[in-house]
Amino acid sequence: RIVEPPQHYAYNREHFRWVPLQGSREYDDALRMLSPGLTIFCILKTLADFGVKMNWSAVLKGLKSAVDMELITGEQRSRYVKHMEDKVMQLLIEDGPQSLGRATSSPLEH
């Protein structure tokens, strides 16, 4: 559930700053036209501050937003988290005992 309504901005090139938009109809229309997968990508890209790296807590936050927006189910989110935790554990095991000594009970914090 989204607690506060989003605020949309447009970049004003003349003044080199972001300015709030009065309405969000254009944004809402564009968002409705995106596929669920592309919408999730956009959520994650935003949380990564448009970069190429993000931490696990940001991924979890993005997936929670996707559930809140009904793009995926809570079960799909849980399955993805479990899959990634299993992958990390597998990599830690492959790296040997020295890696396992640094691991916690959950390789990825929730």
71 or 99, greater pLDDT: 71
28 or 51, greater pLDDT: 51
What one-character-per-residue DSSP string does the chain give?
A: ---S----EEEETTTTEEEE-S--HHHHHHHHHS-HHHHHHHHHHHHTTTSS---HHHHHHHHHHHHHTTSS-HHHHHHHHHHHHHHHHHHHHHH-HHHHTT--SSSS--
Tens digit of pLDDT for each residue in 3-23?
677 788 888 899 999 888 877
Task: Please compute the mean of the pLDDT values over residues 83-99 and round it to a whole number.
Answer: 86
**Domain residue extents for the chain:** 9-100
Tens digit of pLDDT for each residue in 31-90?
889 999 999 999 999 899 889 999 999 999 999 999 999 999 999 999 999 999 999 999
pLDDT of residue 26: 76
